[in-house]
Chains A and B, each alone.
Chain A
Amino acid sequence: MNATTKRHFKSGAVAVALLLLASACAPYQLQKAGTNISVGSEIKVDSTIDWNKSKLDAIEYWTADGPDLNILMFMTDIKKKQKLKRVSRPVVNQQAPEEPESKEEIESLTEFDPDMTPIEIIEYVADFIERSFKMQVDVGTIEPHQFADTAGVRFQFDFVQDNGLMGHGVGAGATIEEKLQMIFFMGVEPYYYENYEASVEALLNSVKRDS
Chain B
Amino acid sequence: MIVFRTGVILCALAAAACQSNKLDVYRKPINTPSAALAEDSTKASPTEETETTESEGYGYRLSDITPAQRPTTGTVEGGIWYQADKAEVKIARSGKRIKDGPLPAYVEKIVCTLAGPYCDDIRVYVVRTNGFNASMMPNGALIVQSGFLIRVRSEAQLATVLGHEIGHYLRRHSLKRTKDTVTGANTAAWVGILLGVPLGPQVFANLREFSRDHEREADGYGLLLMSRAGYDPRQATWVWDRLVRIVGPEAIKERKRYNFMATHPTSPERSKALRIIANELEERGDVAAEPIDGFVEYQNVMAEYRADFIEDEIADGNFDELERLLEILIGDGENRAELLFYRGEIFRRRGKKKDPEQAMFAYNRAFRAGTPPPEIHRSIGLIHFKLKEFDQATEHFAKYLELKPDAKDASIVKSMMGAGT
Q: Which residues of A contact B (CB under 8 A)?
A: 94-96, 102, 104-105, 108-111, 113, 115, 117-120, 123, 126-127, 130-131, 135-137, 139-144, 153, 160-166
Interface pair B317/A127, CB less than 8 Å apart:
yes
A to B CB contacts below 8 Å, 20 in the list: A94-B200, A108-B318, A113-B351, A117-B382, A119-B409, A123-B349, A127-B317, A135-B95, A140-B408, A141-B409, A141-B411, A142-B408, A142-B409, A143-B412, A161-B95, A162-B1, A162-B96, A163-B90, A164-B94, A166-B95
Distance in Å: Cβ of B53 to nearest Cβ of chain A: 35
Bound together, the chains give a CA A172 to CA B200 distance in angstroms of 39
Q: Assess whether B316 is interfacial by the CB under 8 Å rule.
A: yes
Q: A119-B412, A140-B408, A153-B412 are in contact. Are A162 and B94 (CB under 8 A)?
A: yes
Would you call B320 an interface residue if the criterion is a C-beta within 8 Å of the partner chain's C-beta atoms?
yes
Interface: B112 (CB within 8 A): no
In Å, the complex CA distance between A161 and B349 comes to: 24
Q: Contact at A115–B386, with CB atoms within 8 Å?
A: yes
Q: Is the CB of B95 within 8 A of A108?
A: no
Other-chain residue from A118, A130, A162 in contact with B95 (beta carbon distance below 8 A): A162
B97 proximity list for chain A (CB < 8 A): 164
CA distance A123 to B346 in the complex (A): 12
Given contacts A113-B351, A118-B416, contact A141 B408 (CB under 8 A): yes
Q: Measured between alpha carbons, how far is A161 from B129 in the docked complex, in Å?
A: 11
Quick check: A118 and B412 within 8 Å, CB to CB? yes
Our pick among B198, B257, B415 for the contact of A144 (Cβ within 8 Å) is: B415
User: Residue on A with the closest CB to B202?
Assistant: A96
**For chain B residues 173-194, which have a beta carbon within 8 Å of chain A?**
none
Task: Give the shortest distance, in Å, between A134 (CB) and chain B (any CB).
Answer: 8
B326 CB to closest chain A CB (Å) equals 14
Q: What residue in chain A is nearest B386 (Cβ atoms)?
A: A115
- Our pick among A102, A117, A130, A136 for the contact of B386 (Cβ within 8 Å) is A117
Q: For B16, list chain A residues within 8 Å (CB).
A: none
Given contact pairs A117-B382, A117-B416, A144 touches B95 in the complex (Cβ within 8 A): no
Q: Is the interface of B mostly helix, strand, loop or mixed?
A: helix
Given A95-B201, A105-B317, A142-B408: A165 in contact with B95 (beta carbons within 8 A): yes
- Is there an interface contact between A136 and B96, defined as CB atoms closer than 8 Å? yes
Interfacial chain B residues near A142, Cβ < 8 Å: 408-409, 411-412
Residues from chain B with Cβ under 8 Å of A119 in the complex: 378, 382, 409, 412-413
Most chain A CB neighbours (cut-off 10 Å) among B94, B95, B317, B385: B317
In the assembly, what is the distance between CA of A164 and CA of B97, in Å? 8
What's the minimum C-beta distance from B214 to chain A, rounded to whole angstroms?
Answer: 24
The distance from the CB of B296 to the nearest CB of chain A, in whole angstroms, is 29
B95 touches A109 (CB 8 A): no
5 nearest CB pairs, A to B? A160-B95, A142-B409, A164-B95, A143-B411, A130-B315
With the chains together, A165 CA to B200 CA distance in Å?
A: 21
What are the residues of chain A within 8 A of B378 when measuring CB–CB?
A: 119
In whole angstroms, what is the CA distance A140 to B198 when docked?
39
Interface centre among B316, B386, B412, B415 (most CB of A within 10 A): B412
Q: How far is the CB of B173 from chain A (nearest CB, A)?
A: 23
Decide: A94 near B409, CB < 8 A? Known: A110-B317, A110-B349, A123-B349: no
Q: Give Cα A144–Cα B350 distance, bound, in whole angstroms.
A: 24
Could you tell me the distance in whole angstroms from the C-beta of B260 to the nearest C-beta in chain A?
A: 14
CB of B312 closer than 8 Å to a CB of A? yes
Q: Is the CB of A139 within 8 A of B96?
A: no
The answer to the question of B319 belonging to the interface, with a C-beta cut-off of 8 Å to chain A, is yes
Which residue of A is nearest B322, CB measured? Answer: A108
Q: Which residues of B contact A137 (CB under 8 A)?
A: 315
Assess whether B168 is interfacial by the CB under 8 Å rule: no
Seed contacts A104-B320, A117-B385, A160-B95; 15 additional CB < 8 Å A-B pairs: A94-B201, A96-B202, A105-B318, A117-B382, A117-B416, A126-B315, A131-B315, A135-B95, A139-B408, A142-B408, A143-B409, A143-B412, A164-B94, A165-B95, A166-B95
Cβ of B17: which chain A residues have Cβ within 8 Å of it?
none
Q: A26 vs B351: C-alpha distance in the bound complex, in angstroms?
A: 34
The complex places the Cα of A105 from the Cα of B131 at a distance, in Å, of 14
Q: Is B284 an interface residue (CB 8 A)?
A: no
A109 and B408 in contact (CB under 8 A), knowing A119-B378, A136-B96? Answer: no
Q: Smallest Cβ distance from A138 to chain B, in angstroms?
A: 9
User: In this complex, which of B312, B316, B409 has the most chain A Cβ atoms within 10 angstroms of its Cβ?
Assistant: B409
Is B317 within 8 A of A120, CB to CB?
A: no
CB contacts (< 8 Å) of A108 on chain B: these are 317-320, 350
Interface flag for B354 (CB, 8 Å): no
Whole-angstrom distance between the alpha carbons of A112 and B391 in the complex?
Answer: 25
Chain A's closest residue to B94 (CB) is A164
- Partner of A136 from B128, B257, B351, B385 at Cβ < 8 Å: B128
Compute how far the CA of A165 lies from the CA of B93 in the bound complex, rounded to whole angstroms: 9
B12-27 CB mask vs A (1 if < 8 Å, else 0) is 0000000000000000
Cβ of A115: which chain B residues have Cβ within 8 Å of it?
Answer: 386
The CA-CA distance from A143 to B411 in the complex, in Å, is: 5
Chain A residues with CB under 8 A of B319: 108
B201 surroundings in chain A (CB, below 8 A):
94-96
B2 on the interface (CB 8 Å rule)? Answer: yes
CB distance from A188 to the nearest CB of B (A): 10
Per-residue CB contact flags for chain B residues 328-368 toward chain A (1 = under 8 Å, else 0) read 00000000000000000000011100000000000000000
In the complex, which residues of chain B have a beta carbon less than 8 angstroms from the beta carbon of A135?
95
B366-421 contacts to A, CB under 8 A, are 378, 382, 385-386, 408-409, 411-413, 415-416
Q: Which residues of B contact A153 (CB under 8 A)?
A: 412
Residue-wise, chain B 118-137 has the 8 Å CB interface mask toward A (1 for contact) of 00000000001000000000
Cβ contacts under 8 Å, A144 to chain B: 411-412, 415
Q: Which residue of A lies closest to B319 (CB)?
A: A108
B257 proximity list for chain A (CB < 8 A)? 102, 104
